[in-house]
Amino acid sequence: MILITVRTKVKPGTAEDYLAANRPFLEATRREPGNKWFEQYRSVDDPDVVLTTEAFDDAAAGEAHVASEHFQQFLEDPATKPFVAEAPDIIYVDIPDRDGWDKMSEF
């Protein structure tokens, strides 16, 4: 499984517009074979920060995501770009032999 987290700082007061503009991309990604999840959340500490968490079965599914028509369209004409304040931060982790979430043992 690969796990990707993206932290996007948006221009003040534009988070709702950013999320609305990104909705078609989110829905298209969720329909991809190999996509486990694609979720977006607003920070509780900074309303102008949006976190995206996404997971794919494996690196091949991630590569297919990057090669997809909707991803390529996003690169050419990103509907969200007018709302983004700075280059997003990303964490990409390949977790072999994992298939999803674990239960928190401390709970």
pLDDT digits (tens, 9 = 90+) for 58-100: 999 999 999 999 999 888 888 999 999 999 999 999 999 999 9
Q: Which amino acid is at 103?
A: K
pLDDT level of residue 7 (50, 70, 90 thresholds): very high
- CATH (domain of 52): 3.30.70.100
The pLDDT, as a whole number, for residue 22 is 95
Q: Three-state secondary structure along 35-90?
A: EEEEEEEECCCCCCEEEEEEEECCHHHHHHHHHCHHHHHHHHCCCCHHHECCCCEE
102 within domain boundaries: no
99 within domain boundaries: no
103 within domain boundaries: no
100 within domain boundaries: no
The pLDDT, as a whole number, for residue 38 is 97
Number of domains in the chain: 1
Is 53 a residue whose pLDDT tops 90?
yes
Domain that holds residue 34: 2-94
Both structure tokens of 45 = 């500490």
The pLDDT, as a whole number, for residue 76 is 87
Cβ atoms of residues 42 and 18 within 8 Å: no
83 within domain boundaries: yes
Rounded percentage of the chain residues whose pLDDT exceeds 90: 93
